[in-house]
Amino acid sequence: MGFLDTRVCVERFPPRLHRENATRRYDALGGPATVGAVAVVLLGGTASFWGRRGDDFAGERIASLLEAQGVDTSGYRVFPGTSPTCEVFIRPDGERFLFPYLGDGMPPEADWIPDEAIDGADAVLIDGRWPAGGLRVAERAAERGIPIVHDFDQNLPEVWKIASRATHAIADEDLADIHGGVGRLLEKIEALGAWGAVTLGDQGVAHRGGRVPAFPVTVRDSTGAGDVFHGAFALAMAQGRDEIEAVHFGCAAGALHCKFGRVPELADVESLLRGG
Protein backbone atom coordinates (compact mmCIF):
# COMPACT_ATOMS: atom_id res chain seq x y z
CA MET A 1 0.00 0.00 0.00
CA GLY A 2 1.19 3.50 -0.81
CA PHE A 3 1.22 6.32 1.72
CA LEU A 4 1.89 10.01 1.42
CA ASP A 5 4.14 10.84 4.36
CA THR A 6 4.30 14.21 6.03
CA ARG A 7 7.67 14.17 7.78
CA VAL A 8 8.45 16.64 10.52
CA CYS A 9 11.92 16.96 12.07
CA VAL A 10 11.71 17.85 15.76
CA GLU A 11 14.22 18.47 18.52
CA ARG A 12 12.55 16.00 20.87
CA PHE A 13 9.72 13.49 20.88
CA PRO A 14 7.50 13.24 22.77
CA PRO A 15 7.38 17.01 23.22
CA ARG A 16 7.61 18.62 26.66
CA LEU A 17 5.35 21.55 25.78
CA HIS A 18 2.04 21.81 23.96
CA ARG A 19 3.71 23.76 21.14
CA GLU A 20 7.28 23.30 19.91
CA ASN A 21 8.86 24.41 16.65
CA ALA A 22 9.82 21.95 13.93
CA THR A 23 13.20 22.26 12.19
CA ARG A 24 12.01 20.85 8.86
CA ARG A 25 8.81 19.64 7.20
CA TYR A 26 8.43 17.84 3.85
CA ASP A 27 6.31 15.30 1.98
CA ALA A 28 7.72 11.93 0.96
CA LEU A 29 6.67 8.57 -0.39
CA GLY A 30 5.80 6.04 2.31
CA GLY A 31 4.40 2.54 2.61
CA PRO A 32 6.15 -0.85 2.58
CA ALA A 33 5.44 -2.01 -0.97
CA THR A 34 5.80 1.43 -2.56
CA VAL A 35 9.17 2.22 -0.98
CA GLY A 36 10.23 -1.34 -1.69
CA ALA A 37 9.35 -0.86 -5.36
CA VAL A 38 11.47 2.30 -5.54
CA ALA A 39 14.35 0.42 -3.93
CA VAL A 40 14.09 -2.30 -6.58
CA VAL A 41 14.36 0.28 -9.38
CA LEU A 42 17.25 2.26 -7.86
CA LEU A 43 19.13 -0.98 -7.16
CA GLY A 44 18.99 -2.02 -10.80
CA GLY A 45 15.69 -3.86 -11.25
CA THR A 46 12.27 -3.04 -12.65
CA ALA A 47 9.10 -2.83 -10.57
CA SER A 48 5.36 -2.60 -11.13
CA PHE A 49 3.15 -1.48 -8.26
CA TRP A 50 -0.38 -2.87 -7.90
CA GLY A 51 -2.64 -1.28 -5.33
CA ARG A 52 -5.49 1.11 -4.55
CA ARG A 53 -5.64 4.83 -3.97
CA GLY A 54 -8.35 7.40 -3.44
CA ASP A 55 -9.43 10.04 -5.94
CA ASP A 56 -7.70 12.81 -4.00
CA PHE A 57 -4.55 14.92 -3.95
CA ALA A 58 -2.67 12.46 -1.74
CA GLY A 59 -3.31 9.62 -4.20
CA GLU A 60 -2.18 11.72 -7.14
CA ARG A 61 0.96 12.71 -5.26
CA ILE A 62 1.80 9.10 -4.37
CA ALA A 63 1.42 8.08 -8.02
CA SER A 64 3.59 10.96 -9.22
CA LEU A 65 6.34 10.13 -6.72
CA LEU A 66 6.35 6.50 -7.85
CA GLU A 67 6.43 7.44 -11.52
CA ALA A 68 9.26 9.93 -10.94
CA GLN A 69 11.38 7.05 -9.63
CA GLY A 70 10.62 4.82 -12.61
CA VAL A 71 8.03 2.51 -11.04
CA ASP A 72 5.27 1.26 -13.37
CA THR A 73 1.94 2.45 -11.91
CA SER A 74 -0.42 1.02 -14.54
CA GLY A 75 -1.84 -1.28 -11.83
CA TYR A 76 -2.34 1.53 -9.29
CA ARG A 77 -6.12 1.88 -9.46
CA VAL A 78 -8.18 4.91 -8.46
CA PHE A 79 -11.36 4.50 -6.38
CA PRO A 80 -13.63 7.03 -4.72
CA GLY A 81 -12.29 7.65 -1.25
CA THR A 82 -9.30 8.99 0.65
CA SER A 83 -5.77 7.69 0.16
CA PRO A 84 -3.52 6.47 2.97
CA THR A 85 -1.35 9.10 4.65
CA CYS A 86 1.13 9.07 7.52
CA GLU A 87 2.45 11.69 9.93
CA VAL A 88 6.09 11.02 10.80
CA PHE A 89 8.04 12.76 13.56
CA ILE A 90 11.82 12.42 13.32
CA ARG A 91 14.20 13.13 16.21
CA PRO A 92 17.77 14.44 15.71
CA ASP A 93 19.12 10.91 16.28
CA GLY A 94 17.10 9.68 13.28
CA GLU A 95 14.55 7.73 15.31
CA ARG A 96 11.04 8.12 13.90
CA PHE A 97 7.49 7.84 15.20
CA LEU A 98 4.73 7.00 12.73
CA PHE A 99 1.02 7.77 12.86
CA PRO A 100 -0.52 6.10 9.78
CA TYR A 101 -4.04 6.65 8.47
CA LEU A 102 -5.12 3.81 6.18
CA GLY A 103 -7.57 5.83 4.11
CA ASP A 104 -11.31 5.43 3.79
CA GLY A 105 -13.95 4.46 1.26
CA MET A 106 -11.90 2.22 -1.01
CA PRO A 107 -13.40 -1.25 -1.61
CA PRO A 108 -11.47 -4.12 0.02
CA GLU A 109 -12.01 -6.56 -2.87
CA ALA A 110 -9.12 -7.49 -5.12
CA ASP A 111 -10.83 -9.45 -7.90
CA TRP A 112 -10.02 -6.65 -10.35
CA ILE A 113 -6.33 -7.59 -10.27
CA PRO A 114 -5.83 -9.71 -13.40
CA ASP A 115 -3.96 -13.01 -13.38
CA GLU A 116 -1.49 -11.52 -15.82
CA ALA A 117 -0.49 -8.83 -13.31
CA ILE A 118 2.65 -10.80 -12.52
CA ASP A 119 3.44 -11.91 -16.06
CA GLY A 120 7.17 -11.63 -16.53
CA ALA A 121 7.86 -11.15 -12.79
CA ASP A 122 10.83 -12.96 -11.26
CA ALA A 123 9.60 -12.28 -7.69
CA VAL A 124 6.82 -10.48 -5.86
CA LEU A 125 6.99 -8.33 -2.72
CA ILE A 126 3.83 -8.16 -0.62
CA ASP A 127 2.91 -6.19 2.46
CA GLY A 128 -0.16 -6.83 4.59
CA ARG A 129 -1.78 -3.40 4.47
CA TRP A 130 -4.33 -4.62 1.90
CA PRO A 131 -4.76 -8.31 2.73
CA ALA A 132 -7.16 -9.19 -0.11
CA GLY A 133 -4.79 -7.81 -2.72
CA GLY A 134 -1.73 -9.36 -1.14
CA LEU A 135 -3.33 -12.78 -0.91
CA ARG A 136 -4.54 -12.70 -4.52
CA VAL A 137 -1.08 -11.89 -5.83
CA ALA A 138 0.58 -14.42 -3.51
CA GLU A 139 -1.70 -17.20 -4.71
CA ARG A 140 -1.01 -16.39 -8.37
CA ALA A 141 2.74 -16.25 -7.70
CA ALA A 142 2.62 -19.59 -5.85
CA GLU A 143 0.96 -21.20 -8.87
CA ARG A 144 3.84 -20.00 -11.02
CA GLY A 145 6.56 -21.01 -8.58
CA ILE A 146 8.23 -17.62 -8.24
CA PRO A 147 9.65 -16.20 -4.98
CA ILE A 148 7.09 -14.51 -2.74
CA VAL A 149 8.67 -12.11 -0.22
CA HIS A 150 6.26 -11.10 2.53
CA ASP A 151 6.94 -7.94 4.56
CA PHE A 152 5.36 -9.42 7.69
CA ASP A 153 4.59 -6.92 10.46
CA GLN A 154 0.95 -7.39 11.45
CA ASN A 155 -0.54 -10.02 13.75
CA LEU A 156 -3.82 -10.52 11.89
CA PRO A 157 -5.31 -13.83 10.67
CA GLU A 158 -5.57 -12.56 7.09
CA VAL A 159 -1.93 -11.45 7.14
CA TRP A 160 -0.82 -14.82 8.51
CA LYS A 161 -2.66 -16.36 5.57
CA ILE A 162 -0.42 -14.37 3.21
CA ALA A 163 2.60 -15.64 5.18
CA SER A 164 1.37 -19.20 4.62
CA ARG A 165 1.65 -18.65 0.85
CA ALA A 166 5.04 -16.92 0.99
CA THR A 167 8.37 -18.49 0.19
CA HIS A 168 10.11 -15.89 2.39
CA ALA A 169 8.43 -14.18 5.37
CA ILE A 170 10.51 -11.45 6.98
CA ALA A 171 9.00 -10.08 10.18
CA ASP A 172 9.89 -7.19 12.47
CA GLU A 173 10.90 -7.25 16.12
CA ASP A 174 7.49 -6.00 17.32
CA LEU A 175 5.86 -9.10 15.87
CA ALA A 176 8.56 -11.23 17.49
CA ASP A 177 7.79 -9.70 20.88
CA ILE A 178 4.11 -10.59 20.48
CA HIS A 179 4.99 -14.23 19.75
CA GLY A 180 7.44 -14.87 22.55
CA GLY A 181 10.71 -13.81 20.95
CA VAL A 182 12.65 -14.16 17.74
CA GLY A 183 13.23 -17.91 17.97
CA ARG A 184 9.59 -18.72 18.63
CA LEU A 185 8.37 -16.55 15.75
CA LEU A 186 10.88 -18.12 13.36
CA GLU A 187 9.59 -21.54 14.36
CA LYS A 188 6.03 -20.47 13.55
CA ILE A 189 7.06 -19.02 10.18
CA GLU A 190 9.00 -22.11 9.19
CA ALA A 191 6.08 -24.32 10.24
CA LEU A 192 4.17 -22.59 7.43
CA GLY A 193 6.82 -23.70 4.96
CA ALA A 194 8.51 -20.33 4.45
CA TRP A 195 12.10 -19.23 4.98
CA GLY A 196 11.92 -16.84 7.93
CA ALA A 197 13.86 -13.89 9.27
CA VAL A 198 13.31 -11.04 11.72
CA THR A 199 14.69 -7.52 11.24
CA LEU A 200 16.14 -6.02 14.42
CA GLY A 201 17.15 -2.49 13.44
CA ASP A 202 20.76 -1.72 14.36
CA GLN A 203 21.11 -5.29 15.67
CA GLY A 204 20.87 -6.73 12.17
CA VAL A 205 18.68 -9.57 10.89
CA ALA A 206 18.10 -12.87 12.67
CA HIS A 207 17.36 -16.15 10.88
CA ARG A 208 17.44 -19.79 11.90
CA GLY A 209 21.11 -20.11 10.96
CA GLY A 210 22.26 -17.12 13.00
CA ARG A 211 22.32 -13.37 12.63
CA VAL A 212 23.63 -11.01 9.95
CA PRO A 213 24.94 -7.83 11.62
CA ALA A 214 23.84 -4.37 10.59
CA PHE A 215 26.23 -1.93 8.94
CA PRO A 216 27.06 0.87 11.43
CA VAL A 217 26.17 4.30 10.06
CA THR A 218 25.30 7.72 11.39
CA VAL A 219 21.53 7.83 11.12
CA ARG A 220 19.88 10.78 9.44
CA ASP A 221 16.38 9.35 9.03
CA SER A 222 15.40 5.71 9.63
CA THR A 223 11.92 6.09 8.11
CA GLY A 224 11.41 3.35 5.53
CA ALA A 225 14.72 1.54 6.14
CA GLY A 226 12.90 -1.75 6.62
CA ASP A 227 10.92 -1.19 3.42
CA VAL A 228 14.18 -0.65 1.53
CA PHE A 229 15.58 -3.83 3.07
CA HIS A 230 12.59 -5.83 1.85
CA GLY A 231 12.79 -4.35 -1.64
CA ALA A 232 16.49 -5.17 -1.87
CA PHE A 233 15.89 -8.70 -0.57
CA ALA A 234 13.11 -9.29 -3.11
CA LEU A 235 15.34 -8.06 -5.93
CA ALA A 236 18.10 -10.42 -4.82
CA MET A 237 15.62 -13.30 -4.85
CA ALA A 238 14.53 -12.31 -8.36
CA GLN A 239 18.18 -12.39 -9.41
CA GLY A 240 18.64 -15.92 -8.06
CA ARG A 241 20.85 -15.10 -5.08
CA ASP A 242 20.75 -17.18 -1.90
CA GLU A 243 19.02 -15.92 1.24
CA ILE A 244 22.11 -14.95 3.22
CA GLU A 245 23.56 -12.98 0.32
CA ALA A 246 20.16 -11.32 -0.06
CA VAL A 247 20.12 -10.36 3.64
CA HIS A 248 23.58 -8.77 3.38
CA PHE A 249 22.43 -6.86 0.29
CA GLY A 250 19.28 -5.72 2.09
CA CYS A 251 21.18 -4.69 5.23
CA ALA A 252 23.56 -2.55 3.18
CA ALA A 253 20.69 -0.86 1.33
CA GLY A 254 18.77 -0.23 4.56
CA ALA A 255 21.82 1.19 6.32
CA LEU A 256 22.56 3.63 3.51
CA HIS A 257 18.93 4.69 3.47
CA CYS A 258 19.30 5.63 7.15
CA LYS A 259 22.54 7.49 6.41
CA PHE A 260 21.33 9.40 3.33
CA GLY A 261 17.70 9.87 4.33
CA ARG A 262 16.73 8.49 0.91
CA VAL A 263 16.76 5.22 -1.03
CA PRO A 264 20.34 4.47 -2.13
CA GLU A 265 21.47 3.53 -5.62
CA LEU A 266 23.20 0.31 -6.60
CA ALA A 267 26.71 1.79 -6.81
CA ASP A 268 26.47 3.03 -3.21
CA VAL A 269 25.37 -0.37 -1.94
CA GLU A 270 28.05 -2.23 -3.87
CA SER A 271 30.69 0.16 -2.51
CA LEU A 272 29.56 -0.47 1.07
CA LEU A 273 29.53 -4.24 0.54
CA ARG A 274 33.07 -4.17 -0.87
CA GLY A 275 34.35 -2.17 2.06
CA GLY A 276 32.13 -3.58 4.75
pLDDT in the model for residue 1:
85
Q: Is residue 165 scored above 90 in pLDDT? A: yes
- pLDDT at residue 127 tops 80: yes
pLDDT in tens, 21-67: 999 999 999 999 999 999 999 999 999 999 999 999 999 999 999 99
Closest CA to 34 of 96, 105, 127, 118: 127
pLDDT tens per residue, range 209-225: 999 999 999 998 889 99
Mean pLDDT for 158-184 is: 96
Task: Band the pLDDT of 10: cuts 50, 70, 90.
Answer: very high
State the pairing for strand pair 148-152/124-127: parallel
- pLDDT tops 80 at residue 179: yes
pLDDT band for position 87 (cuts 50, 70, 90): very high
Per-residue confidence band for 276, with pLDDT thresholds at 50, 70 and 90: low
Phi (first) and psi of residue 22, to 5 degrees: -90, 150
DSSP string, 58-124: HHHHHHHHHHHTT-EEEEEEEESSB--EEEEEE-TTS-EEEEEE--BS-----TTS-GGGGTT-S-E
| 204 phi-psi bin (left φ>0, alpha ψ -120 to 50, beta other) | left
The pLDDT value recorded for residue 98 is 93
Q: Structural domains in the chain?
A: 32-82+107-275 (3.40.1190.20)
- The pLDDT value recorded for residue 94 is 86
Q: In the structure, what pLDDT confidence band is assigned to residue 275 with cuts at 50, 70 and 90?
A: confident
Residue 204 has pLDDT above 70, yes or no: yes
Q: What average pLDDT is seen over the chain?
A: 95
